[in-house]
Amino acid sequence: MATTSSISSIIDDTLTYVGYDIDDLAENASFEEVVYLLWHRELPTKEQLEELKKQLAENAEIPNEIIEHFKLYPIDKVHPMAALRTAVSLLGLYDEEADVMTKEANYRKAIRLQAKIPTIVTAFARVRKGLEPVAPRKDLSFAANFLYMLTGKEPDDIATEAFNKALVLHADHELNASTFTARVCVATLSDIYSGITAAIGALKGPLHGGANEAVMKMLTEIGTVDNVEPYIRRKLANKEKIMGFGHRVYRKGDPRAKHLKKMSEKLTKLVGEPHWYEMSTKIEEIVTLEKALPPNVDFYSASVYHCLGIDHDLFTPIFAVSRTSGWLAHILEQYDNNRLIRPRAEYTGPGKRAYVPIDERG
């Protein structure tokens, strides 16, 4: 065990947020309720929820300098996760409280970050297409507002419900690589912006959050249900990894995957593209049979986001929008009971030796 935490737990392949089963939360909770739960360790009352929603809505706008910065680099060649990483770091420069380390100031910064990250992601997505960013609306839920800022159109209930559920499912996951990164960073008593910037960097990799985009790339390459079998068997024979499968902690399966699978079935039919779901289930069949590896959260989320009309390279930034809530909960928990995180390495290099002057080296 690397640390103690009272935020989320994975025990016998069951995931809970502060004691509430993820299945229960996925079916019933709004993302805003989950944010409150992760940050306060209790579900909110109606008043507490309204207050949080108000604070998030009031803080959703981003400095214009962030948008101007998007125009300073070759935006069409930049991955949105790289842009998000830089934008969050930049955001810290415009926060006068960035280095104020009181509990109250850190909570205010948590609100500001959670509120602004969706605005950054959606503004980037539009600016790179030559479109104007869409200002956040105060009357929409967190999920609906994201889709609204992305497209400029108010989403229907099906899209909002699916997106909300995806946000709930991705919000926290114990000591995953990006959360651990955030905790290591702020345990030096560095600021929240540094912690979230570091976490985004860790989430970006394809062995972690980046896997959802990689899954969609694989599905696109495969193209048809008939191609699944030869494609997957070839990959396995070459000892290549199948993205969206396997997990360091779960053994029998990731409890989040079944919710995304159900959504994928429904949405792929609804948009008239059932082949994404059919290909996915066929891949699952083969990988489970050949490698005994079940799908993780990233596998079916790919086809879900695709059906919501989201660009494939925005899948991981959307993961970050949700996981920011968990990162922030862990950062605040780390500050509350801080000790520098400094593991040791088992040394495997040569034994002690004498320095050899450069002219004598052969």
Ligand X SMILES: CC(=O)SCCNC(=O)CCNC(=O)[C@H](O)C(C)(C)COP(=O)(O)OP(=O)(O)OC[C@H]1O[C@@H](n2cnc3c(N)ncnc32)[C@H](O)[C@@H]1OP(=O)(O)O
Ligand Y SMILES: O=C([O-])CC(=O)C(=O)O
Question: Is residue 243 within the footprint of ligand X (CB under 6 A)?
Answer: yes
Question: Residues 175-194 vs ligand Y: string with x where CB under 6 A?
Answer: -x------------------
Q: Among residue numbers 231 through 290, which ones bind ligand Y (CB under 6 A)?
A: 247-249
User: CB 290 → ligand X: shortest distance, Å?
Assistant: 9
Alpha carbon distances (Å) from 109 to 55, 99, 113, 129, 192:
11, 10, 6, 30, 7
Residue nearest to ligand X (CB): 246
CA–CA dist 92, 89 (Å, integer): 5
Pairing of strands 20-21, 8-11: unpaired
CA 37 from chain centre, in angstroms, equals: 18
Q: Work out what residue 291 binds among ligand Y, ligand X, none; the CB cut-off runs from 5 to 8 Å by kind.
A: ligand X
Which among 170, 173, 247, 306 is annotated as catalytic? 247
Q: Among residue numbers 279 through 298, which ones bind ligand Y (CB under 6 A)?
A: 296-297
Cβ–Cβ under 8 Å, residues 277 and 269: yes
Q: Is the dihedral of CA 22, 24, 26, 30 positive or negative?
A: negative
Number of residues that bind ligand Y (CB under 6 A): 7
Q: Work out what residue 128 binds among ligand X, ligand Y, none; the CB cut-off runs from 5 to 8 Å by kind.
A: none
Which among 254, 298, 306, 330 is annotated as catalytic? 298
> In angstroms, how far is the first alpha carbon of the chain from the final one?
46
Question: Is residue 173 within the footprint of ligand Y (CB under 6 A)?
Answer: yes
User: CB 2 → ligand X: shortest distance, Å?
Assistant: 16
Alpha carbon distances (Å) from 52 to 17, 31, 101:
18, 11, 21
Q: Among residue numbers 8 through 37, which ones bind ligand X (CB under 6 A)?
A: none
Query: 74: which 2 tokens?
Result: 């070759």
Asked if 247 is an active-site residue, the reply is yes
Q: What angle do CA 272, 278, 279 make, to 5 degrees?
A: 115
Question: Is residue 213 within the footprint of ligand X (CB under 6 A)?
Answer: no
Number of residues that bind ligand X (CB under 6 A): 17
Question: Is residue 325 within the footprint of ligand Y (CB under 6 A)?
Answer: no
For ligand Y, which is the closer residue by CB, 17 or 70? 17
Asked if 298 is an active-site residue, the reply is yes
Contacts of 17 (CB under 8 A, 6+ apart): 7, 8, 25, 34, 37, 38, 171, 172
Compute, in degrees rounded to 10, the torsion defined by CA atoms 112, 117, 122, 127.
90
Q: Among residue numbers 287 through 316, which ones bind ligand X (CB under 6 A)?
A: 291, 293, 296-298
Residues acting as catalytic residues:
247, 298
> Contact residues for ligand X (CB under 6 A)?
207-209, 211, 241-248, 291, 293, 296-298
